[in-house]
Structures are given as structure tokens and as C-alpha cells.
Structure 1
């Protein structure tokens, strides 16, 4: 099949502003283990990794049992956070309009996220986005970022080739995953990653607002070896 266009999206920090929530949950998680919680700058650098790898990086002296406790506490703390009155993870301005524009232009749309299926279900309860996604790949499905697995699976599920596909994400792990899968990569700076960090890991483009990103996506033409 030819002539396809596939946009593969990260979620946290790209479509949804979860910066404050993720950091607060991580701080509470570390408090539960009596550990010094990470600063925000440390937390933002692990977003997108598997929970085990993320906790291992944030607590390098922790043993395997300690890491398992951190992972379990993080998940449970997230559940409690989501159940609180007024819990909110807003979409970034322009996110919904960009998804709608891609759909109107006949794009295929995929998700590649470090969230669990449970986390994705919670997202869809907050924001009615499920109908946009033709395939969804997450932390429960296999190797996490920056392994190319989720991008490769998304392309395989929809019959798209690397030159027909784009990865959009805010973290270095998103860009590294896309590069490893051989797709064109768009970094965005309104989430967890800084522009220079995204550039350093090889983002093909870096965008500072959804207007710029949307214009670039809609101008994309699938070409071999793009």
C-alpha cells in the first residue's frame, strides 16, 4: 500500500499537560519510601521511560525490591490522584484542532506512550480522543522508549512504511525512539524536553507552538528516504 501518511503521537507533555501531576505523584511516591524526592528537572528527564527504568534512574542506589515498591506506589498514587475532585490534565491549546485537521486530511493517527492501558482509559474519560486513534501502543505492550518497538508496531498495524510516518513528542526518548525506527521526528518544546535537548538527539524539526507543528504536518509529503 502506498500514499499513506501516519502521525504517531506521544501523549504526556505533547497532547496533554501532565507536567505538574507527574512530578507531584513522583514526589509523593518517594516520600512513601522515605527517600528524598527528585527535583522537577530530574523527573522531566525520565518521562516516557518504563516505570522500572525511570525509578531506577531517579533512585540509583535502590535495590530491586525498592524499585518494585516505587513502581507500585507510583501507580497507586496515580489512581488516588485521578480520583480527587477537580483532577485535571488539560489538552494543550491547539492539540484537538491538530488531530481534527489530520483526520480531515486523511491521515492515519497512532499513539505511542509510556502510559499503561489503565492510564489511557483515564485519559479518554477526561478527553474524548479515542476516535482519533487508529492504533494505540503503550507500556503494557512491550519494550518501552527509546526502543523503536511501539513505532514499529504502529506502522505494522496500519501498513505504513517509515518514509510515510512521523513521530511527534516532547521528550528525548520520543525522538530517540522515532529515529531508531527510521521515521521523521518532530520535537515540541511545551512539555518535558528543552529545544536544545531535542536537537541534540536528532529531532528533524523542533516546534514551539501547535500552529507551527500543524502547518509542518499538513505540508508533509511521504517520500522514500525522507
Structure 2
């Protein structure tokens, strides 16, 4: 009798965008400042804005304007969208990838790793990002703030797993914020934190990061460590 060999599980790496692949803080802080000024509000604290990068837009604005009523939060959020589009269309707009980001994701794809994005960006923002950096076609699934509940809700990750048919034990989230890590823990997958983003390494560890990397050259090895037997968090 011929033995039937089962295929190894697909290995899936899910990346955040802002603060993980791209250094976009100057654009986000600038657009939030434009939105506040449009409504006669004092400029937001840049550190407070950086702290909410990754959340869905309405929740992010609500955290920066904790005393504002919901209707004011909604109009400021809409103004932020308009301000960001205006900035993106301007000749001075830049959104640089972190060193080694493009090479890392291309190398993973060449190894047969399945790639996905889970981001607080809008769908249009992700499309522009991928086109601008020549990354179209590398990611088999993309979930954005437009598609469903935002971070740290695990919906994006659960939907990616279901869509791609990947196993949680062979999946890892790579992100720079506690929202990414908390989302991964709640989905029952590994979380690899990055040291170059917008939240402190100590906070990433406290949130449940399996590993933290200091540069993109360490990401592939960290993912291999996760997939080869690191203990998974319990899904909630």
C-alpha cells in the first residue's frame, strides 16, 4: 500500500502597514492637525496621535478628543480623511518603507510563505501604498478599516484565516503596536513585534508578543521560530 503523504500546513505572515512596513507618522500627524484646525481646535499632541496609529479612524479621533461628543468626533474624522487625501495628492507627499521591508516580504513570498495585510488604513490608502512601492500581487489577502471591526478586535485576522484556509498555529502577525499584538492574541496566532514602530517594546511584550525584532533582517528567522513550536496564546 502506498502511503498518502499530507501536505505541510501553509505558513501565513500577516503584516501591519503604518509603523511596520511604512514610516507614515508624519503624514498621519499632519492630516490630524489639518483636521483639528479645520474645526478651530488646538493642534493635537503629536505623541498622542502616534499612540493611536493603527486603530480605526473614528476610534482614533475619539481617543485624541476624549471629551468630544460622537457627532464632533465623526466630523473631525471625515475632515481627517479629506486632509489625508489632499496631502497624498500633493507633490511633497512621501511615505517611505522602513529599511529592508520590501526585500523581506519579497523573500518570504519567494520561500512560499503566504502573505496578507491587516491594517487601519482605508482600502484606497492600501491600494495607493501597494502601487507606490511596487508591492502589488504579493499579498493574498488584505483587510482594512473599511472591511469590518478594527484593531484590536480579531475580526480581520479571523477573516483572513478563513479566506486563505490557513491554520492558526502556522500564522503570525507582524506589527508595531499593542493593537496588533492584542489582535493576534485574541485570534490565537503568534505576534511578532517590531522595535522601529510607534509603541514601546516593553508594551509589546506586556501585550503578549511572542518575539520582538530589531530590524527587518530578523523577521524571517522570528517567523520560523514561531512556526516551529513556540507556544501559542489562547484565543479569546
TM-score bucket of the superposed structures, by smaller chain: over 0.9
TM, length-normalised to structure 2 = 0.91
Count residues with an aligned counterpart. Answer: 226
Structure 1 residues 62-211: aligned runs within 5 Å: 62-211=68-217
- On the 8 A contact 1:5/1:222 being kept in 2, the answer is no
What does residue 3 of structure 2 align with? none
* Larger-Rg structure: 2
3-state secondary structure, aligned to 2:142: strand
- On the 8 A contact 1:102/1:218 being kept in 2, the answer is no
What does residue 22 of structure 2 align with? 16
Note the C-alpha offset of 1:217. 2.3
Higher relative contact order at CA 8 Å, sep ≥6: structure 1 or structure 2?
1
Alpha-carbon distance in 2 for matches of 1:141, 1:33: 28
- On the 8 A contact 1:186/1:207 being kept in 2, the answer is yes
Note the C-alpha offset of 1:221. 3.2
Deviations 1:66-105 (A, max 9, x none): 1111111000000100011031101111101111111111
Deviations 1:169-221 (A, max 9, x none): 00110111011000010011212111111111111111121112233224553
Alpha-carbon distance in 1 for matches of 2:230, 2:64: 40
What does residue 7 of structure 1 align with? 13
- On the 8 A contact 1:176/1:201 being kept in 2, the answer is yes
- On the 8 A contact 2:172/2:226 being kept in 1, the answer is no
Change (3 A) 1:224 1:85: closer
- CA RMSD of superposed structures (Å): 1.5
Alpha-carbon distance in 2 for matches of 1:224, 1:23: 37
* Structure 2 gap ranges (5+): 1-6
Deviations 1:11-39 (A, max 9, x none): 00100110111111111111111112221
3-state secondary structure, aligned to 2:23: coil
What does residue 213 of structure 1 align with? 219
TM, length-normalised to structure 1 = 0.95
- On the 8 A contact 2:169/2:227 being kept in 1, the answer is no
Alpha-carbon distance in 2 for matches of 1:156, 1:18: 30
What does residue 4 of structure 2 align with? none
- On the 8 A contact 1:176/1:202 being kept in 2, the answer is yes
Change (3 A) 1:7 1:173: same
What does residue 27 of structure 1 align with? 33
- On the 8 A contact 1:113/1:137 being kept in 2, the answer is yes
